[in-house]
């Protein structure tokens, strides 16, 4: 950790790490790490790779009284080096997992929304950060996936993320900063040992580094070995996971029952990861199996995992967002106008084209004494066209294969208090025309 660095070390290191990437956006806080990264890339652009397109993106969290000063410092830093600069202010909700987690979530939401096409995000985590991440995962009791810590090259939220400084120590970055003659921001919150990462950095790791100077490098190797193991498992289980997953992304419970608990857990974790879910703890994973997968067939079991919900229907597991309840929504509708439905459910339109009247879901037009409403909750008995006997709403939805969580999200066309149709699903006996009444087709379409 005390190795000296040749004057050209940083630019050569960065050229190797970015490979053929040329459209670069640096997450720039103004601290030592991101300042060295940004200045090093500017030097690389100016001396070796003029085709590099480089810009800086600063996140203004508003958590410190010095936040405005930091933003001004970052802007001046970039202006001095001819680097395009932009800043985005965010609101951090500390109730969502604490300040550290909420700030991190806010940052990555900004990155996902501000990167241009084919632009690559670069962040400045270094070897000591990797060690801290590994230790925090160890404290949480994480398995190989968590202990893999941070990847030098990954894809998150639809964009590519590079961390080119992961194998450089903070001491090496300080040497680079001295050679480049740059100043940086010292975030006052970094001295607050109430935060777990700061506690490690300030109170624990210095003693470990003093006793074992190569401790950070050793933990980085362990993280790499864990990552390699996870990659191997991904390859070995990929074909099996594909066989257990259908076109809707749901996972077969019956298929999982055939495997050992260890393999089943590995498949569940990879299924969740493929759906973008937060990785569950060991306890949560067991609850997914015991309380959701193995629940009674008539139970509407579910388990919340971050912003998503795991549900089961007909021996398959589904990972879904938490839907807004629409069961009490009633919308007055003039079918002469297109109706936009709530909660991004698309829109309805009535098509009176005679050529469509042979279509499957055609109904009569309302009579003069009938008002048209759109609702999302069916009650009582439904007399479905094409079925001899009426059925209770719940049993009809089950017969049609509609999962419980979708049943209150299908628009239902009512004339006064009488159900006429569920567009795309069924029409009722009461919707059929009499005495050559005018007809139309109600079309339910996704938002463009």
10-residue averages of pLDDT along the chain (448 residues):
54 94 94 95 93 93 82 95 91 61 72 88 94 91 84 84 94 93 86 88 94 95 92 92 93 95 93 84 89 84 86 91 87 93 91 67 91 92 90 90 90 94 93 87 83
Is there a shared CATH topology between the 9-223 domain and the 245-321 domain? no
> CATH number of the domain at 9-223, please?
3.40.50.620
Cα–Cα distance, 376 to 413 (Å, whole number):
9
| Domain boundaries defined on the chain | 9-223, 245-321, 330-445
pLDDT at 95: 56
Give whole-number Cα distances, 389 to 241, 360, 383, 384, 424, in Å.
41, 19, 7, 8, 20
- Report the binding-site residues for ATP: 29-34
Q: Are 157 and 198 in contact (CB under 8 A)?
A: no
Distance (Å, whole) CA 109 – CA 196: 23
Q: Is 386 within 8 Å of 396 (Cβ atoms)? A: no
Domain 245-321 annotated CATH 1.20.59.20: yes
Identify any residues that bridge with 440 across adjacent strands, giving them in sequence order: 363
pLDDT reported for residue 146: 83
Query: The whole model's pTM is what?
Result: 0.69
């Amino acid at each position: 950790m005390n190795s000296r660095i040749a004057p050209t070390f940083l630019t050569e290191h960065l050229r190797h790490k970015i490979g053929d990437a040329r459209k670069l956006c640096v997450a720039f806080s103004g601290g030592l790490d991101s300042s060295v990264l940004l200045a090093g890339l500017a030097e690389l652009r100016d001396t070796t790779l003029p085709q590099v397109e480089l810009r800086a993106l600063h996140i203004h969290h508003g958590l410190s009284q010095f936040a405005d000063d930091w933003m001004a410092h970052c802007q001046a830093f970039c202006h001095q080096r001819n680097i395009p600069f932009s800043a985005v202010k965010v609101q951090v909700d500390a109730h969502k997992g604490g300040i550290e987690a909420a700030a991190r979530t806010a940052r990555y939401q900004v990155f996902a929304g501000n990167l241009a096409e084919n632009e690559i995000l670069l962040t400045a985590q270094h070897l000591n950060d990797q060690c801290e991440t590994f230790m925090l995962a160890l404290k949480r009791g994480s398995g190989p996936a968590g202990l893999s810590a941070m990847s030098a090259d990954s894809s998150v939220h639809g964009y590519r993320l590079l961390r080119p400084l992961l194998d450089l120590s903070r001491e090496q970055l300080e040497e680079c900063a001295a050679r480049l003659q740059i100043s940086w921001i010292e975030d006052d919150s970094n001295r607050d040992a109430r935060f777990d990462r700061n506690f490690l950095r300030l109170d624990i790791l210095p003693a470990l580094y003093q006793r074992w100077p190569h401790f950070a490098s050793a933990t980085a190797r362990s993280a790499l070995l864990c990552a390699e193991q996870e990659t191997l498992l991904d390859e070995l289980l990929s074909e099996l996971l594909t066989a257990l997953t259908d076109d809707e992304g749901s996972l077969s419970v019956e298929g999982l029952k055939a495997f050992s608990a260890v393999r089943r857990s590995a498949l569940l974790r990879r299924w969740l990861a493929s759906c973008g879910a937060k990785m569950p703890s060991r306890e949560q994973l067991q609850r997914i199996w015991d309380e959701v997968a193995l629940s009674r067939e008539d139970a509407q079991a579910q388990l919340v995992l971050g912003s998503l919900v795991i549900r089961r229907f007909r021996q398959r597991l589904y990972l879904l967002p938490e839907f807004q309840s629409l069961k009490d929504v009633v919308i007055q509708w003039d079918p002469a106008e297109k109706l936009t439905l709530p909660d991004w459910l698309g829109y309805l339109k009535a098509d009176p084209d005679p050529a469509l009247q042979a279509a499957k879901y055609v109904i009569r037009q309302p009579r003069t004494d009938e008002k048209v409403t759109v609702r999302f909750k069916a009650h009582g008995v439904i007399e479905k066209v094409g079925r001899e006997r009426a059925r209770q709403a719940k049993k009809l939805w089950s017969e049609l294969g509609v999962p419980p969580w979708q049943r209150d999200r299908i628009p239902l066309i009512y004339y006064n208090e009488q159900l006429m149709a569920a567009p795309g699903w069924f029409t009722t006996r009461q919707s059929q025309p009499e005495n050559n009444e005018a007809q139309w087709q109600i079309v339910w379409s996704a938002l463009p």
